[in-house]
Structure 1
Amino acid sequence: MKKLIVLVVAVLASTQIFANDKTTKETTEQKLRSEIVLLLDKPQIRLDRNEINASIEFILNAKGEIVILNVDSEKEAVESYVKSRLNYKKVDSDITRTGNKVFKLRLKVLNPEA
């Protein structure tokens, strides 16, 4: 009976540890997204359409800087804008502890005149 109680306590404790780890990861990625939104604020790009989508792939280096790997967009002006605003920009030091992970972010640029 004592072994059963110890087993139940161990299982409950391990589920609490895993649950806390997942929450921390989500908040870290949300912080990173928020910082990127601030860096990409108010683009001065002329658009032919109402919106243009882009896909951004990047990593964080050991210095806490964003390193752009790829920007996939129909318009070269969007690619240049993203690279100039994000490449090698520092982010919060708490966020940089994510390891070697490639982040993917979808970007939608809306035409302010539409």
Structure 2
Amino acid sequence: MDLEQLAGCFVVEIGIRQAWPFLGICDSRPAQARETRLYIDAEWAIELITRTTGGADDDRAWLTAAVVLNGRTVESARVEHDGCLRLATDSGHNLVISGQPQPYTVGEPWRISGWRPA
């Protein structure tokens, strides 16, 4: 998926699927709204003035911190030179996911599912 497609979309859910924290992202601009999920299997951080961090195995930290992203619009999504993903939202919160696998990482450090009808 082209990450630029995420700009203008909004976060509709936060959660944990089995062992992976995720964000559900909706694009309501097409005639048929569509959704995708961003799965996390590495260290992550949510930044604003302060920084909250955790790993894919820290469920409580993820759910507590990620609530600030729910309902927010994604302003930009980009992959840094080291493979980390940075999502910037309209509230000023940035979700940063490491591009480096951890000992518990079973696949890619982060991945985005394909679009499906909302």
What TM-score, normalized to structure 1? 0.31
Which of the pair has more CA radius of gyration? Answer: 1
Q: Which has the higher helix share?
A: 1
Q: Which has the higher strand share?
A: 2
